[in-house]
Homo-oligomer: A and B are copies of this chain.
Amino acid sequence: MIIPRLDRIAYGGDYNPEQWPPEVWPEDVRLMREAGVNLVTVGVFSWAQLEPAEGEYRFDWLDRVLDLLHGGGIAVDLATPTAAPPAWLTHRYPASRLVGRAGQVFGTGARQSFCPSSPDYRAAAARITEQLATRYAGHPALVLWHAHNEYGCHNPSCYCETSAAAFRTWLRRRYGELAALNAAWSTTFWGQRYGDWAEIEPARLTPTAGNPAQQLDFLRFSAEEHLANFRAERDILHRLSPGIPVTTNFMIASCKTMDYWRWADEVDVVSNDHYLRAEQADNHIELAMAADLTRAVAGGRPWLVLEHSTSAVNWQPRNIAKRPGELRRNSLAHLARGADGLLFFQWRASRFGAEKFHSAMLPHGGTETQVWRDVVALGAALDSLGPVRGTTVRADVGMVWDWESWWALELDCRPSVDLDYVERVHAYYEWLWRAHLTVEFVRPTDPPDHPLLIVPSLYLTTAETATALTRYVENGGTLVVSYFSGIVDANDAVHPGPHPGALRDLLGLTVEEFRPLRSDESVHLDNGATADTWTELITPRGATPILSYLDGPAAAAPAVTRHPVGGGVAWYVSTRLRAGDLDDVLRRACADAGLAPRDDLPADLELVRRGPFRIAINHADQDAKLPATGTELLTGSPCDGLLHIPAGEVRVIRTD
């Protein structure tokens, strides 16, 4: 169990009692119980309430809140409040302010406006963490620590002088000698050689494209500064509050700047915040992708949704409310993909501040609302789904995900501004989702046990990764590699020789030239598929052309190739095919891998196996049927051969 002291699927949300008069708190607890809430996150932005002046602490109100919750049988995920330094800290320690790429100094009134490398910030954050840990380590409501909030969400990088000095220290540690840095940063280009560590700066605003290796290292450094801040808090909590696991809420798949693979082994429990891209069609597929990625970072173990929304958020251009049933489908899709807890932001809608139009479990409209009824119903449903807790998801297909390659791919001066890492991941993921094949995301150096592995645009491919992928194929795996993969090493230097340097032997081809397309251009393949954005001029060197370009700048050249290597096969897709147009290629790759897409099921029926359970989510407006035998948990009904999933509904069947 990921939260040892909690014996149920966690259910609840962020609870900010400091925003409400104490009279409201007992009503909160009463309504939480009505909704089946058993875990709330408390204190996320309470620093200024807990330490109103430097070194002066006020814990009475929080004591009372925790006692009230405990009295109501509700466990607490207690947050360190370090994502919102108090005004006194910013005022007294001006060097702790966040500074932007062009030197602009950020002001007060928001959150996370601090420099992640600031010693003043760090010292103050450690003190408040120690205070909290000391006081609440023994509180019976406490089951989980929640360090900070969404590390790096608004302050991914700081460009101040403190950060510059910290960056130099980090670089000295990474490279030892300046010559090694000059080599890694390829400073022979544009005469950027450094003769002294003191000459090195953050990747500040430049009048034209800056050094990409410098940019990559500054991204690495910045991410590690946040991770160091997490580690510092975690270590305090472990020391002073042993036995209580520590988590922090990731923003997986949407936060580009944190390399969560590096956080995987640092947190006791992996947690994620997920919000729909409200205006995007079929955005539940993106949700599934994020959930699968979170599970991967959790090493396959159960994880928590620490934040998602009951309906609209407040920070997108148009904050679309959820449709009927969407709250339930979204939440249970997380559960299906490994979540053992479902928390919302937030319990009670704020009356003020920047987030007052964010939906909540208890909306402004109170209990006479569909959202409230759905929240209560979901709480009840989770009671029936208790047996699912602790089980693990069974995946079918591997897919590589890599933050560093994402960073590198989208630096400036790439062959086309239309190159988009997540878009490619999503396109392959979407096809697999519709084929009812569950994805296991993996580090590039760590191929899975599954017979099929997808590698979407892995621009940055190290030699280690190339070796791992080659071994995967040699050992019988089927690999599908998307375009613009295998191009550069960890310092954004092109691998020697023809593209794709790191993968050309494995793929059995060279790319003579990239042939990106104009913004309104599309091309056709000889199987009728339409592609856009990108094409390449491929020379097969062992690979067999499977599909070719009918037109466009690579007309008549291969578009998709297949290369048997050892016991396996390496496919290459050199152009941007949307999910539907990938069908032909991916069916053949599945055949190579011995995988069968479930063509007998409706495309909009999400189907995941978790332990002995099969969880079916019907996103369509029509009812669906699934061959199945066993007991359906939500209705409690036996199913003998054919499970009926009403339009918009969810069914969870325990296979006998």
Contact = CB atoms under 8 A, between A and B. Distances in A.
Interface of A: 16, 18-19, 45-49, 52-53, 81, 84-88, 90-91, 98, 100, 102-113, 153-155, 159, 186-196, 198-215, 279, 311-312, 314-315, 317-321, 323, 349-357, 359, 363-366, 368-371, 412-418, 491-494, 496-499, 501, 510-519, 537, 539, 553
A386 B153 CA distance: 63
Q: Which 10 A-B pairs have the closest CB atoms?
A: A107-B204, A189-B353, A186-B352, A110-B206, A84-B191, A209-B354, A48-B193, A109-B210, A154-B207, A87-B199
A208 B365 contact: no
A199 B112 CA distance: 16
B196 A415 contact: no
Contacts of A102: 100, 104
Given A108-B200, A320-B516, 13 more contacts: A45-B191, A102-B104, A107-B203, A109-B215, A110-B209, A111-B208, A318-B416, A318-B518, A321-B515, A356-B494, A364-B494, A365-B499, A369-B512
Contacts of A103: 104-105
Contact of A81 (B107, B191, B349): B191
Contact of A190 (B84, B210, B369, B493): B84
B511 A365 contact: yes
Contacts of A212: 352-354
A52 B193 contact: yes
Contacts of A539: 368
Contact of A208 (B81, B112, B514): B112
Nearest to A211: B109
Contacts of A86: 191, 193, 195
Task: Tell me the dominant secondary structure on chain A's binding face.
Answer: loop
Nearest to A186: B352
B45 A107 contact: no
B498 A365 contact: yes
Contacts of A85: 191
A107 B71 CA distance: 57
Given A210-B354, A214-B109, A496-B351, A193 B87 contact: yes
30 contacts: A45-B189, A45-B190, A48-B191, A52-B195, A87-B199, A88-B195, A90-B199, A91-B198, A106-B205, A107-B206, A110-B206, A110-B208, A111-B208, A113-B206, A208-B354, A209-B354, A279-B519, A314-B413, A314-B415, A320-B517, A323-B553, A351-B494, A352-B494, A355-B413, A356-B492, A364-B497, A364-B498, A365-B497, A368-B510, A370-B512
A41 to B, nearest CB: 15
A492 B352 contact: yes
Contacts of A512: 363, 365, 368-370
The listed residue with most B CB atoms (<10 A of its CB), out of A48, A109, A195, A199, is: A109
A365 B494 CA distance: 11
A81 B191 CA distance: 8
A576 to B, nearest CB: 13
Contacts of A370: 512-513
A195 B492 CA distance: 48
Residue from A18, A107, A186, A206 with most neighbouring chain B CB atoms (10 Å): A107
A444 to B, nearest CB: 21
B193 A109 contact: no
A539 B215 CA distance: 54
Contacts of A492: 352, 356
B201 A49 contact: no
A210 B110 contact: yes
A517 B204 contact: no
Nearest to A214: B109
Contacts of A45: 189-191
Contact of A497 (B203, B366, B416, B418): B366
Contact of A513 (B109, B112, B188, B371): B371
A511 B512 CA distance: 57
A189 B366 CA distance: 20
Contacts of A199: 87-88, 90-91, 108
Contacts of A154: 207-208
Contact of A514 (B198, B357, B496): B357
Contacts of A211: 109-110, 353-354
A492 B414 CA distance: 41
A193 B81 CA distance: 13
Contacts of A186: 19, 351-353
A509 to B, nearest CB: 11
Given A354-B190, A494-B356, A195 B318 contact: no
